[in-house]
Amino acid sequence: MIEAEYHEFVASDGRRLSWQRWLPSSAVRGYVVALHGIQSHGGGDEHSSRRLAEAGFEVCFLDRRGSGRNSEARGDAIHADRLVNDVRQFLVATRSRRDRDNPGAPVVLQAVSWGGKLAAIVASRCPGLVDGLALLYPGLKSRIRPGWWARFRLDLARRLEIRDKLVDIPLQDPALFTGDPDWQQFIRDDPLSLHEVTVGFLLANQDLDQQVDLAVTQVECPLLLMLAGGDRIIDNVATRELFQRFSSDEKRLLEYADAEHTLEFESSRDAFVADLLGWLEQVIVDD
């Protein structure tokens, strides 16, 4: 059985950041660089990552700075560009390794939940680094939005440069992520899960949200969008509308009617992984 390897890379500001790799036992046919959600980390998508590796894809799952195995400055982000630059730097390193070991193999950027907005912006800014974009129940448009009072306080914090205060992430109920009781317990017990973020992170998130609508019009690589029909976190209606605005000539939208937010934790997960693999196979053919 393919098991995860644990690595670190040094970001351009000197921060050491954790990432996990599922390495195929045979020749690498493609590279998947994956981003996680606001609370989760690279270890939460073990099943799909292993399945992709068994099919010949090297899967590199990054732990966002301040998340997962990254213990320094938990829940914090200096600014939105810092988050974008971390991913860009890792993609550059991945493509360099690809060029050395498997020239011509595609590099796909994959993201789940909150990571979807970050991935879309990276793909729009760095088109030469991404051969395909897979967005799984992405946080491009959320159903859980701050009210006017929260927005007012955030704007005030920006003006006063209040950045270090910790704020609860408004997704504490595991039932929002899955209807499966065992996976709900897994979420409750996960020691690497993030429950608080700084005001600085919320400001970075706000800046990313303001960039999403324009960013999608600048994404031209092959695109896959997967939605969970029973999602209570993602605004599927608004996300479908946004899907139409991506500039990609090749784009595919799949929706799993009975699934809740985290497809990885649903009983139908083998179906979504099979569909993801089918799309990746097409990226290899078209690349």
Helix, strand, coil content of the chain in percent (nearest 5): 40, 20, 40
**What is the model's pLDDT at position 1?**
85
Condensed to tens digits (0 to 9), the pLDDT of residues 222-260 reads 999 999 999 999 999 999 999 999 999 999 999 999 999
**For residue 21, which phi and psi values (nearest 5 degrees)?**
-130, 130
- Amino acid identity, position 235: D
Instruction: Please compute the mean of the pLDDT values over residues 257-283 and round it to a whole number.
Output: 95
The residue among 62, 68, 52 whose CA lies nearest residue 20 is 62
Q: Enter the pTM of the model.
A: 0.97
Dist. CA 94–CA 91, nearest whole Å = 5
Examine the pLDDT at 215 and tell me if it is beyond 80. Answer: yes
Cβ atoms within 10 Å of 100's Cβ, excluding its own = 8
Condensed to tens digits (0 to 9), the pLDDT of residues 87-117 reads 999 999 999 999 999 999 999 999 999 999 9
